């Protein structure tokens, strides 16, 4: 019985640590002189969005996720907006090589005096994507806020859709400045 009583707090702590860690790295920057309460409406800035080098389907997914987050923050989509929203993306392919050496032998270093050992190399690749979300003051045509989210992307359609939502959510938690949801 005492074992179970000790196990419950440990499991709770482990669960909290695992679920509280997001695998999305987020950074933001903004103009400190801007009063973000003045922005009540938004529209997507098509010239900027058209330059994003991703599929049109992924663009739509990103824009829908941004629209959901801004609407939840009280902003309204408008044809005469106070804030323009633009996006752009970058991606890197990471190649990881793991070498598992095991065996026996003698000598110095790997070659030429090493014999009898065996090993196995495993190569894996992953794509890390970065999404930039820019908010532009519509009247002044000036960038006032930028959020950046970076995370590993999946090729699986369903996993990719969920990952896009997660990245947008994590970035949008930082808007407006000073109102981070923990």
Give the model confidence (pLDDT) of 4-23 as tens digits.
444 444 444 433 333 344 59
Question: Which residues make beta-bridge pairs with 119?
Answer: 101
- Based on its alpha-carbon atoms, the radius of gyration of the chain, rounded to whole angstroms, reads 24
* pLDDT at position 60: 97
The DSSP-derived string for 112-134 is: TS--S-EEEEEEEEEEEEEEEEE
| Contact between residue 154 and residue 160 where contact means Cβ atoms under 8 Å apart | yes
Residue numbers in the chain where pLDDT is lower than 70 = 1-22, 100-119, 180-182
* pLDDT at position 109: 55
Q: Which residue has the tokens 């999946």?
A: 154
Burial tier of 67 (Cβ tally within 10 Å: 0-12, 13-18, 19+): middle
* pLDDT at position 108: 54
* pLDDT at position 14: 39
* Angle formed by the axes of helices 157-172 and 56-72, nearest 10°: 40
Ordered by where they begin, the domains of the chain are 24-93+127-172 (3.30.160.670)
> Is 83 in a helix, a strand, or coil?
strand
Instruction: Give the C-alpha separation, 126 to 103, whole Å.
Output: 30
- Supply 101's token pair: 């050496």
């Amino acid at each position: 019985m005492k074992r179970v009583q000790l196990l419950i707090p440990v499991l709770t702590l482990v669960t909290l640590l695992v679920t509280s860690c997001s695998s999305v790295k987020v950074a933001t920057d903004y103009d400190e002189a801007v009063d973000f309460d003045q922005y009540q409406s938004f529209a997507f800035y098509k010239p900027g969005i058209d330059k994003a080098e991703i599929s049109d389907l992924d663009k739509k997914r990103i824009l829908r996720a941004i629209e959901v987050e801004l609407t939840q923050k009280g902003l309204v989509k408008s044809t005469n907006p106070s804030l323009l929203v633009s996006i752009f993306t970058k991606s890197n392919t990471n190649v990881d090589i793991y070498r598992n050496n095991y065996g026996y032998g003698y000598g110095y270093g790997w070659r030429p005096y090493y014999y009898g050992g065996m090993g196995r190399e495993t190569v894996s690749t992953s794509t890390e994507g970065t999404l930039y979300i820019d908010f532009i003051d519509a009247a002044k045509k000036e960038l006032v806020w930028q959020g950046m989210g970076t995370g590993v992307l999946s090729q699986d359609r369903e996993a990719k859709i969920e990952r896009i939502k997660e990245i947008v959510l994590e970035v949008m938690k930082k808007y407006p400045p000073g109102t981070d949801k923990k």
